[in-house]
Amino acid sequence: MHLSSSRRQFLKLASGASLGAVSSWPILGQAPPDPGRRADVVIVGGGVGGCAAALAACRAGRSVVLTEATDWIGGQFTSQAVPPDEHPWIESFGCTRTYRDFRDGVRRYYREHFPLTPEAQANRRLNPGNGLVSRLCHEPRVALAVLHEMLAPHVSGGRLQIWPRHVPVSVSVNGDRASAVTVRDEVRGTTRVLEAPYFLDATELGDLLALGGVEHVVGAEARRDTGEPHAPEVAAPLNQQAFTWCFAVDHRPGEDHTIARPESYAFWRDYVPAMKPPWPGRLLSWEMSDPITLGSRAVSFDPTGPGGPGLNLFLYRRIADPANFAAGTYTGGGISLLNWPQNDYWLGPLVGVPSEEAARHLARGRELSQSLLYWMQTEAPRPDGGTGWKGLRLRPDLVGTPDGLAQAAYIRESRRIRAEFTVVESHVSTEARMQETGLAREAVTAASFPDSVGVGAYRIDLHPSTHGINYVDLSSLPFQIPLGALLPVRVENLLPACKNLGVTHVTNGCYRLHPVEWNIGEAAGWLAAEALRTGEPPRQIRRDAARLAAFQSLLRNQGLELEWPRLRPL
């Protein structure tokens, strides 16, 4: 199956492929100019899960080719420019050892390369941006540098090749096995065939699932199929979570950095979301739906001070706080990353529609983010009674693009495999578990999975959707990642390695965040390596009690936590 030119256009838009040429091989991994390559494991998609999978497979001694559609590996951390969304215990437990190594690496990078204050230098839990969303808000380029540091020994050792600006265009299948993936070099305009015993799909939208005919689900499943209280009565494949084009800004008092007025600005300025339950007013305003209560929630924005009533959004995802750095390092209030309800795009889905339509939605999503910035520069109410901050300045240097928007859209929902085991709401939702078990809130736990390959924790956080469904934000319990959710019902050697595992539209809401995606990818990388070592297919490793126990022992020895201590619901 080959992609049409319109599909390639869509992938270019999705990945920000209008960027300049990639850096030279091998540090950033530009592919050599031969027509093909064979490896033990081919990983398509260099996001959070893809990087973790590559690290695992390489540590197991396997040869790996890792392809990525954008200039940068790292996905949510880098090309999408999203500071990590994490659970409250992340500093102590609840992630893999290598994810902790990544977090430690970010802090070490700042200590070694940035002029921190003595207090910040001594802070073991340094939060460079002091953003409110995370205990580790940092610049995308720092995450990129740390990921390359982690992978560098495997690149130098010849086990790993990293190919940026490559997108998948077809998957060759023989029965229940994939035999090759063809990728297109977006720089040279050529294609290459990658062959391997195992392929991992770490793309943001689950592209290999569609190209390889792997049974999968799109959008919202029907309640009768999943039994989930928050699933719709009828399946809605085109009901998908909003995506967001993120961007970074700082503020230069007394300067004018106003961008050109976007063509669609009038539409977005006046747009009132048609939501169920209702949105409180215009999208471009300092009033929004409260994700949990769905009532009206007032917020503010102020790059110069504490802000007005409610949360100051400039501080929410701030990635550089001047207080942590020597005087003069940053101007004004520092640098903030804009990933808000005000630039969530939900007017159409990216999966299950013609590529031309998906491309239009991606383009309109970019225009929404540009319109949000223009509104903030010109018309947005200020706490002092004025309007607009002309000194708000895009930072294209921080995200690696000419226009200052992130290289790729932040994707919250992917195609998902039809899996041997699917995680549903009753496995992780606090209320659903209480009803199922009869236990009180203080005593209830998430379902226990005997085939656990990791852990995660986050509220079930569904952003407004393409069917006009307002937030669905539910209390959840610290959960496990079952191996059965990484196994397609039929195909043997094409495995999910990010948010395309066996979850539902609802449970995707807590399995899609940074540390969980890392754990999924790392488990998938070790699984492929173990299958190669033993000569047994992954599903046999799960079915055979002795092999499963041995695999779980391997994961524990490699620093993957497979169960939680006793914790409260989120």
DSSP string of 451-462, one letter each residue: TEEEEE---EEE
CA 175 – CA 353 distance, rounded (Å): 27
Which residues are within 8 A (CB) of 274 and not within 5 positions of it... i.e. 6 or more apart? Answer: 468
Helices (H), 379-507: 396-399, 425-428, 430-437
3-state secondary structure of 392: strand
440 burial type by CB count under 10 A (0-12 exposed, 13-18 middle, 19+ buried): exposed
Which residues are within 8 A (CB) of 400 and not within 5 positions of it... i.e. 6 or more apart? Answer: 19, 71, 72, 79, 140, 141, 407
Which architecture characterizes domain 5-211 according to CATH?
3-Layer(bba) Sandwich (3.50)
Cα within 13 Å of Cα(45), Cβ side: 32
| CA angle (527 as vertex; 521, 533 as ends), nearest 5 | 145
Tokens describing residue 8: 């390639």
What is the model's pLDDT at position 34?
60
Q: Return the closest-CA partner of residue 473 out of 316, 282, 297.
A: 297
CA 285 – CA 298 distance, rounded (Å): 9
254 burial type by CB count under 10 A (0-12 exposed, 13-18 middle, 19+ buried): exposed
Which residues are within 8 A (CB) of 476 and not within 5 positions of it... i.e. 6 or more apart? Answer: 428, 429, 430, 446, 457, 458, 459, 460, 510, 569, 570
No. of helices (H) and no. of strands (E), the chain: 17, 24
What is the model's pLDDT at position 307?
83
| Pairing of β 166-174 and β 160-163 | unpaired
Q: Where are the domains of the chain?
A: 5-211, 243-399, 414-557
Alpha-carbon distances of 248 from 63, 78, 104, rounded to whole Å: 36, 12, 23
Question: Are 149 and 105 spatial neighbours (Cβ–Cβ below 8 Å)?
Answer: yes
What is the model's pLDDT at position 30?
52
What tens digit of pLDDT does each residue of 532-547 get? 999 999 999 999 999 9
Which residues are within 8 A (CB) of 140 and not within 5 positions of it... i.e. 6 or more apart? Answer: 72, 74, 77, 78, 79, 81, 248, 398, 399, 400, 406
Helices (H), 411-513: 425-428, 430-437, 508-511
Question: Are 204 and 407 spatial neighbours (Cβ–Cβ below 8 Å)?
Answer: no
Which residues are within 8 A (CB) of 452 and not within 5 positions of it... i.e. 6 or more apart? Answer: 480, 481, 482, 483, 552, 562, 563
User: Can the peptide bond before residue 26 be classed as cis, meaning omega within 30 degrees of 0?
Assistant: yes
Tokens describing residue 255: 């300067």
pLDDT tens, the chain, 570 aa long: 444 333 343 334 343 333 333 333 334 445 555 656 899 999 999 999 999 999 999 999 999 999 999 999 999 999 999 999 999 999 999 999 999 999 999 999 999 999 999 999 999 999 999 999 999 999 999 999 999 999 999 999 999 999 999 999 999 999 999 999 999 999 999 999 999 999 999 999 999 999 999 999 999 999 999 999 999 999 999 999 999 999 999 999 999 999 999 999 999 999 999 999 999 999 999 999 999 999 999 999 999 988 888 999 999 999 999 999 999 999 889 999 999 999 999 999 999 999 999 999 999 999 999 999 999 999 999 999 999 999 999 999 999 999 999 999 999 999 999 999 999 999 999 999 999 999 999 999 999 999 999 999 999 999 999 999 999 999 999 999 999 999 999 999 999 999 999 999 999 999 999 999 999 999 999 999 999 999 999 999 999 999 999 999 999 999 999 999 877 677
3-state secondary structure of 80: coil
